Each structure stands twice: as C-alpha cells, then as structure tokens.
Structure 1
Amino acid sequence: MPIYAYDKGGKEHYYYAFEVKDQNGKRKTIKKRGFKGKTECKKAEAEARVSWEKGSYIDPSKMTFEEYITNWLDNKQDISRETRETNRGHLKNHIVPVIGSVPLQKVNVMHIEKLTKSMKDKKLADGTIKKVFNLVNTAFRSAEKRELISKNPFNLLDKGSKPRDSKAKIDYWTLEEVRKFFSVLEHRQKILFVLAIHTGMRRGEMLGLRWKDINFENRQIRISQSLKPRQGLTEGVKTDAGYRSITISPFVISELKKHRNMIVQEKLAHDEYDDHDLVICQENGKPVSLGNFTKFWNRMIEKTEMRYIRFHDLRHTCASLLLSAGTHPKIVQELLGHSSIKITLDRYSHMMPNLQENAAMTLEKMLK
C-alpha cells in the first residue's frame, strides 16, 4: 500500500504516492501530502486512482483556482444548503471571473488584492466583500493544510489590503411613525406588517408560517419553516436559535383571526386553491413571490407616504421599540432568534442609552 508516514511539527502525518503511465507510456508519480490519519490518506489514495483511471485526475501543479475551489466547496460538509448556494453565487459572480483561471499554486498577494479591488469597483456592500474574502481565505487555508500550496497568500497581505469591518446600517421607524403607518395601512396582507413589527420575525419566517404553527389558545407562534429564494418552502430556519416559540399579544391574535377569516373566504372562491396551510400567501394559496417583494414593499411605502426604510428594518423597529421600553436584551435576543446575546448587544447597543444610568441609580438605591 503506497501510504507513507512523515513528521510535521512533531506530529505524524501521511502521504500517498503511486506510479502511473500517461497516454505516451511515460511514467509519472501521483503524490499528495498533508493527511493527519492513515485511514483518511488511504481513502484519498483510492479516490485518486479511480480518478486517474477515469481520466479525471487533475495534477495539483496544473490545477486552476476555479477547479480547486469548486471541488472544495462541493465537498465541504459543515455548511447549510442555503450557504452553499450563496457561496456558489459568489464564485460565479465575483471570484472565478477575476482569478479562476490562475493556477492554484501561482495565486499570490497581487491576485487577492485584484479580487478585492474588483468587488469594491462593483460597489458591493462591505459585508459582502468581507464574506467573499473570508470564503477564499478559508479555501486557501484548506489547500495549505493539505499541502497543495506551500504558502497561503492571505498570510502575506498587508493589513491595509484586508476588507474593513463595518457594521451594517440599521434604520427603523419611531413609535410615532409606526402609529402613523398602521393608521393609514389598508391592504390584504396587513398581517404581514403586524407580525413584522410586533414579533421581529424574519421575512422568510413570516412567509413560511403555517396555521398549524400558531397556538391561538396559548398565544404562541412556533418558527419551524421558511420561504427561501430559489429553494421555496423549506423545513428549518437560518440558525439553531431560529427554532423558537414567540408569545404574541391579544391584538396580534385578533388580527390573525381576521386574516384567517379572509383566507377561508378565498379558499371558497377558488376552484383550484393550492393549499400549503400558509398564513401569508397569494389569493390562490401559493407562496408569495420573493422576486417581486422589493417592488411590493416600495409600493407600500409610496402608498402610505412613509419615510423609506427597508422591509428588513421593520425587524429592527421591533427591537428598537422593545429596548427603548426597557425590555431586557436577553428577551429581545430570544424573540429575534439571534444565536447569541452578543449579536443583539453589538447590533442594538446604541438603542439602550439609559442602561448605564439605570444601573448607577439602582446601585445608589441598594447602597443607601
């Protein structure tokens, strides 16, 4: 068995090496290092032999960056389906057109800087640039770990060449603006906006909400399904913390019951109602079109003559109203489905200006 051990950093690693003949009868050695376990190395060696016999083996020295990162992403196991699709979009739109044709082992600092500059020239959001940058960096770390490259070019970057960290802009309506919005709002999907502002649910969570997920007696909503671009209705939510139950007010219950009565009437009026048990849907029962959602929201802003904010900012509006009323950040975290309270505090700390004053006054009362 062509599996060999070698020492790296005081620890035993493995590599495989076996000889083959090319189409001209010339002998060559196929070799790959960087395996921590013997079993892992044996499996990779067997796969390399099969690839060679099928004619699909790619010599690491001749592998392009596109070939490497595409294969790396296809075989990555620790990401969700949604993240994988997003990353494939980044490959197609931003990464491959700029450095995809460069041989993996020849990608250098200048190529990485060129990639970053190309995204800035497209005026992509800082957050998107950082995500693409991190994706490529992770791919190179994996290549370095498996000794497909001698050095990770990201380790040689100047600090100024790395994308800056910037907090996403958060906008929200004030209490007065929310009251104005509901005073002029007349729409079949009013319940969508009631849920957005009263519960802080994500758009996909609201559009995937089913009647069976609502307990009217206990006034609770269970989040377990989402409507996603390209994937449609999907069991599951963005993070593990996204699986949650939300307690809702009697007002929201009342609005849900009104909306349910309307849905019942629409079912009776349509001979071919496509029933998905959705709370928010088209008049024929089908899921709402995400492709037209931004236009829909812009029309609502124009019709109600409200100050423009993104639809997602209704979620921030919910958080702002709760925190300004003195709700504990931990409760807000659980309501919004953040994976940790750190996210909540980092994102909304500027909305809690009275916390230190309240803390000081509380201590004074305790110590008097």
Structure 2
Amino acid sequence: MGYVADRWHKKRPGPDEPECGEHKGLVASQAHGVGKRWQARYDDPSGREVTSLHRTKAEAEAEIVKQESAKQNGSWLDPKAGLVTVEKYALETWLPAQNIIGRSVKEYRGALDRYLIPEWGNRQIRSIKPSEAGAWQQLLTSKYGLSGSYPNRVARYVRGVFKLAVIDRVIAISPFDGIKAPTLVESSVTPPDVAEVRQMIAAAYRPIWAAMIEITALTGLRSGELRGLTLDRIDFLRRTIRIDRQMVYEARKGMYLDDLKTGAGRRLLPVTKRAVDLLAAYVAAHPPAKDGGAVGLIFVMPDGRPVGESTLDWAFKSICRKADLSKRHWHELRHHYASVLIAGGENPKVVQKRLGHKDVMTTLRTYAHLFAEAEERTRDVLDAAWADPGETASEEESPQQGGTVPESGRRQGVLWQVSG
C-alpha cells in the first residue's frame, strides 16, 4: 500500500532544529513553500516506486486509493508514461518490436520519418486526439499525395504505434479507435493470357529472358524469388521448388540473398513437368557457378553477376515492344499464374498458398473479379448440363455439348498444354 509524504517538513528532525513558523510542531525542510506540499508514493505493478504531487493531503490519499484500485482490476497506467513523445515511442519502442527483417525496418522507418514525425513527432503520445487522428489520415492524400494502397499501408504502421502503446499501458485508448482506416484500394489486374505470354517468350532476345518469362508464368514467383533461385532449392524428382529467400539490393551493400519478408512467403511450390524440364534444360546449357558471389544461382548475367531488378524490368519492356504488345510489368506474369489457377477452379486458399500471400484477403482483394468470372463459368457449365432438350442454356453452348467455349474460357486458354 502507498503512503503520503509531507514535502515541506522533515520526517525526522534533529532535536535542536527550530520549529516551522507557519506550521506548529513541525520542522521546515528545504522544500518548504516550494511547489505542492503533499506527495503520493506507491509501487507500480512491477514494484517500481511512482510519485505524484498534490495540493492537499486528501487529494494525495485519494490518488493512492485510485492507483491501488487500478492495480487490482488491471487498468493501471503509468501517469508519466504518456509523456513520452510520439517520435521517441515510435522509433525506440514500436519499431524494434516489429518482427521484420532489415529492409522492412528501412521501409517502416521511412514511412514514419516522412508522414508521422513531421506532424506529431514532438507531441506527447497521450496528447493526440481522435479528431487529430482522423485529420492526419486525410493528410496522407491531401498533403502528401499518396494514392492506391499507400494511404492504408502508412496508416496501418501509425495505427500500430498507438495500438502497441495501449498494450504497453502507455495510453488508455488509441486515438484511432473508432476512426476508420483509409480504404485499401487494390488496382484491378488484367493479366496477360497464355497466347500473349507465348508471344513474349518468342520475342525474347536472350535465352535467359525467355526462360525467366516462362518460369515465372508457370510458377508465379516474385522477381526477387526468381532472381535468387539456386539449384539446391529445386527438387527435379518430386517437381517442387523451395522458396525461402530472395535476391535484394541495398545501397552500399549491392545485391545479396536475404530472407523473405514474411513467413507466408516461405513455401514448397509444386511445379509442372514442363517447368522442371525447362529448368533442367537451362541448367544443362548454363551451369550455375560453383564459387563466387553468384554461386548456385540459376539465372545470372553473361559476366556472372546476379540479375538486377531494374535490368530485368528494362529487358521485359523491350521484349513487349519487340512483340508489339501493350506495355506490361514483370509482376503481371505473376498475375497470369494466379489467373490460370483461378480459371482452373483452384479455391482462394490454395491460390494464396501458391503465391505466398500473408492472408487470403490479400488474394481475394487482388483477384476478386477473376474469381467472379470463374463463378460465372461454373453457372454456365451447370446450366448447360441441366438444360432441357431444345433449351439454350447460355449465350454460347457448353463445350461438353459440342458447342463453343464460353468467352471467359477462350480468353484464358489452356494451361500450356502440360503433360505429365
């Protein structure tokens, strides 16, 4: 239990010390008349002493009762903890608490430095109001010009700072509670179909680009995952690829193999016979280096260096121009892979696992319209199968009944005519 101390008077005065002229029977301390007289003292849940100053003894006693009660019911907050600045808490407490790799730390820190600290960095974390939280989220678009998924991403980081502050009992409630996060905008993807990917492969002016395009279309690997693929990660017999790292670039460090950002990205990916045969043929023609910085890498530049992301993007744009195709980005080959799985009837959870998405909602947001098309094809097939003689089941007959393939099926094509 805590106790109240009189700051203005000595608890154990000497025998010859003069009596306080203002308070009979007491001996004045050096703090007499300076600041508030009564000090409430109590231990926090960890055993550390906490103090606060009050004008009257009754106020100090009431404070002790309040804090002891809060300790008992689990609602206790350190009155001084909320004095920490937003910048100090975000950088010294929240950021180190995130289970992320070095490159992600740089990304998170950059977002805090650009969008949070200039607005609230010097403010006490307890001083931020819900109205200010809502207004800050609006600044992401109105002042900083963020668009697409970025307002939601930055807001997620900052909301996480205040959420952890609540868990740490630095503040009682987050100012973002009750404030809706910025809408997560996912651009509708229009992946290239099989015929278009075949055109890209045919237009590739180097064997490495042709192989990388086709392998990405057949596996859905991210650029860094593909560029960091090594021979020891491929099981040619079982037809699987172990995805657990990627090629990354950092200023002053150059390119190197690093862990994936999330555990969901680490996966054992089943691949087709076509993909395995292609990889085997490419490795036979271009054996991976056995030493040096690119040891074991499947895809390297002619001078032995790893393939850089910008180099790959530039080559891909050149190939699209050569093939007289619309401008595409490398990541759209990954969308192609996902679209083929969806067209083939794979459920969202399987697609999520194959792509290495953190959660199935990411998959659904990105490919919602493709799943909708797949659902419509299911209806067409069922309508065709149960149509009465002489009825027209749909605008175009089902292939099972000798008609033409529905438009959505023609658009997608057949998956590479893979055998085995």
TM-score normalised to structure 2 length: 0.64
Q: C-alpha root-mean-square deviation of aligned residues, in Å?
A: 4.0
* Contact 1:116 1:163 (8 Å CA) reproduced: yes
Q: Is the 8 A contact 2:289 2:297 kept in 1?
A: no
1:155 match: secondary structure: coil
Q: Is the alpha carbon distance of 1:295 and 1:238 closer, same or farther for their aligned partners in structure 2, counting shifts above 3 Å?
A: farther
Q: Name 2:264's counterpart in structure 1.
A: 240
Deviation at 1:237, TM superposition (A): 5.9
Measured at CA, do residues 89 and 232 of structure 1 come closer, stay the same or move farther in structure 2, by a change above 3 Å?
A: farther
**Which residue number in structure 2 is paired with residue 141 of structure 1?**
163
Describe the shift of the 1:184–1:66 C-alpha distance in structure 2 as closer, same or farther (beyond 3 A).
Answer: same
Q: Distance in 1 between matches of 2:309 and 2:366?
A: 26
TM-score, with structure 1 as normaliser: 0.72
Q: What residue is the counterpart of 2:326 in the other structure?
A: 307
Distance across 1 between alignment mates of 2:127 and 2:47:
22
Q: 1:181 aligns with which of 186, 200, 206?
A: 200
**Is contact 2:162-2:174 (8 Å) kept?**
yes
Q: Percent identity?
A: 20
Cα offset, 1:339, TM superposition? 4.5
1:173 shift after superposition:
0.9
Give the equivalent residue in structure 2 for 1:16: 48
Q: 1:163 to 1:330 in 2, by over 3 A?
A: closer
More helix per residue: 1
String of CA shifts for 1:143-178, please: whole Å, max 9, x gaps. 234443354221364x5xx41232233231123322
Structure 1: state its 5+ residue gaps. Answer: 6-12, 21-31, 46-58
**Contact kept? 2:223, 2:309, Cα under 8 Å:** no
Would you say the 8 A contact 1:191–1:255 is kept in 2? yes
Structure 1 residues 348 and 81, CA gap change in structure 2 (3 angstroms) = same
CA distance, structure 2, for counterparts of residue 362 and residue 211 of structure 1:
45
TM-superposed CA distance for 1:124, in Å, is 2.0
Distance 1:344 1:140, change over 3 A: closer
C-alpha distance after superposition, 1:324-367 (max 9, x if no partner): 2445555434432335555434432422424355368559969x
Between the aligned partners of 1:361 and 1:314, the Cα distance in structure 2 is 28
Alpha-carbon distance in 1 for matches of 2:188, 2:132: 30
* C-alpha distance 111-201 of structure 1, shift in aligned 2 (>3 A): same
Aligned to 2:338: 319
Within the candidate set 226, 243, 253, 2:276 is matched to 253
Does structure 2 retain, via aligned residues, the 8 Å contact 1:322–1:332?
yes
State how far apart, in whole Å, the 2-side matches of 1:236 and 1:131 are.
19
Q: State the distance in 2 between where 1:365 and 1:35 align.
A: 68
Listed as ranges, the matches of 1:80-119 within 5 Å are: 80-109=101-130, 111-119=132-140
Asked whether the 8 Å contact 2:267–2:356 carries over to 1, the reply is yes
Instruction: Note if contact 2:188-2:366 (Cα within 8 Å) is conserved in structure 1.
Output: no
Query: How far is the alpha carbon of 1:85 from its aligned partner?
Result: 3.2
Query: Which amino acid in structure 2 is aligned with residue 263 of structure 1?
Result: H
Using the TM superposition, give the Cα deviation of residue 275 of structure 1 relative to its aligned residue in structure 2, in angstroms.
3.5
In structure 2, the CA distance between the partners of 1:304 and 1:16, relative to structure 1 (3 Å rule), is: farther
What whole-Å deviation, never above 9, does each CA across 1:199-237 have from its counterpart, x for those lacking one? 111122111110111123333322222123438312456
- Aligned amino acid, residue 226 of structure 1: Q
Any residues of structure 2 matched to 1:141-290 within 5 Å, and which? 141-155=163-177, 157=179, 159=180, 162-187=181-206, 188-230=208-250, 232-236=256-260, 238-240=262-264, 242-250=266-274, 252-264=275-287, 274-290=293-309
Q: Counterpart in 2 of 1:29?
A: none
- SS of the aligned residue for 1:91 comes to helix
Aligned partners of 1:171 and 1:103: how far apart in 2?
A: 46
SS of match in other structure, 2:309: coil
Q: 1:119 to 1:345 in 2, by over 3 A?
A: closer
CA displacement 1:76-129 (0-9 Å, x = unmatched): 154455543321121122222232222323223454345323321433233221
Letter in 2 for 1:240: A
- What is the match of residue 348 of structure 1? 367
Query: Closer, same or farther in 2 for the Cα pair 1:156/1:197, shift >3 Å?
Result: closer
| Aligned-partner residue type, residue 201 of structure 1 | L
**Once structures 1 and 2 are overlaid, which stretch shifts more, 86-95 or 317-326?**
317-326
CA contact (8 A) 2:203 2:319 kept: no
Whether the aligned pair in 1 keeps the contact of 2:228 and 2:257 (CA below 8 Å) is yes
Closer, same or farther in 2 for the Cα pair 1:308/1:83, shift >3 Å? same
Q: Distance in 1 between matches of 2:163 and 2:347?
A: 40
8 A contact 1:172–1:313 mirrored in 2: yes
| 1:229-248, Cα deviation, whole Å (9 max, x unpaired) | 43831245633353213222
Instruction: Mark the CA change 1:35 to 1:203 in structure 2 (over 3 Å): closer, same or farther.
Output: farther
Gaps (5+ residues) in structure 2? 2-40, 53-66, 389-420
Q: Is the 8 A contact 1:213 1:223 kept in 2?
A: yes
Structure 2 CA distance for partners of 1:90 and 1:306, relative to 1, 3 Å: same
Is it true that 1:127 corresponds to 2:120 in the alignment?
A: no
Cα 1:215–1:339, aligned 2, differ >3 Å: closer, same or farther? same
Alignment size in residue pairs: 326
Q: CA deviation at 1:66?
A: 0.7
